[in-house]
Structure 1
Amino acid sequence: MLEHPAATAPTRPVTVLHADRSPADHALRADTDRLISALSNARATFWYERDAEQATGSRTGPMNLETPELPVDANVYPCGPFPFMREVGAQLLPGGIPARNIRYEVFGPDPWLADTTP
């Protein structure tokens, strides 16, 4: 998701927010750091359930969207398992981000699709 703005709009404001079990479980962390470095107006916040002290500037616990502040006109692209997405949505909408500005990808089975097996 960061490759496109890094290649086409490197001065565009970008906020990267990521939550994971631990820094060791953070997939593509090196790529994320590299792409954030390529964006002159990017900032990142990472949350880890455990071992957050091993990653400089990281926060302990679940993602909390009270800080950092997101602009109300932000386009938001949450990705993750359904329980995480429910938690994020419960923070984004009351935080002023309109539903039309949220595009998401659920990692795992889609709970809205009916089981069509015979």
Structure 2
Amino acid sequence: MAEARARALQMAAEAAEIAAEEAETLQRAARRKAEEQEKMERERVAVCQHQTPEKGQKCSTNYIPTSPELYRYRHNLHRWLLLSMYNYEALRSEDDDDSDLVQPRDEYASDYTSDSN
């Protein structure tokens, strides 16, 4: 009886050792996978910070546009704001003539539209 008990304890110890090794292996694999994902995310963010994302490529929210993009965006925003204010004043005027409305001319239209037509 004591011999069977000793054998059962030995088998339980071996099973516990195998389970511990398996758990350690799984932890290493999970840690390695997390490190790979973190590295890929860092690389993706670095790419997104230095160039415009390609079509279909997803960039993280911390995409930093380059100086020309910022200038173009700010320039267009300012221009559209001025045109909107001017047109609002023109629409508020008493006459019903729309000849004084300004039609916007987008200098950068080729940047935003494709010539697929």
- TM-score over 0.5 for the pair: no
**What range describes the TM-score normalised by the shorter chain of this pair?**
under 0.3
What TM-score comes out, normalization by structure 2 length? 0.17
Max radius of gyration: which structure? 2
What TM-score comes out, normalization by structure 1 length? 0.17
